[in-house]
Amino acid sequence: MGFGLVVRFVAHDAAAASAFDALAEEALEGIRAEEPGTLVYVNHAVPNEPHVRVFYELYRDRGAFEEHERQPHVRRFLAERGQYLESVEVTFLDEIAGTHTTLHKGR
């Protein structure tokens, strides 16, 4: 069964949101290259809330999430993100039921 989370980030201002997006993109490059157990990792903008970002993350299982957290690109993201943010709210998700499609790298 999958393991996921939703994270809501609120940046200080537009410049901080832009810098946060660049930091997230750097992490995403490492995730694409190094993390086969990370099935979905997406940074979303929120309409009418320009300083808010919402990540949706889905992992093969809890072990894949724990491996994700140990990666150097993720550790750098976690260490540096705070300078851009007013708040972070994390909601962990355990799959009950659903359907899965084949995900293609880079899509």
Q: Please name the residue that has the structure tokens 């200080």.
A: 12
Domain locations in the chain? 3-94
What is the per-residue pLDDT for 1? 67
Distance (Å, rounded) from C-alpha 4 to C-alpha 61? Answer: 8
**How high is the pLDDT of residue 107?**
40
Per-residue pLDDT of the chain (107 residues; tens, 9 = 90+): 689 999 999 999 999 999 999 999 999 999 999 999 999 999 999 999 999 999 999 999 999 999 999 999 999 999 999 999 999 999 999 888 877 665 444 44
- Whether 7 and 88 have beta carbons less than 8 Å apart is answered as yes
Dist CA 73 CA 92 (whole Å): 21
**3-94, CATH topology level:** Alpha-Beta Plaits (3.30.70)
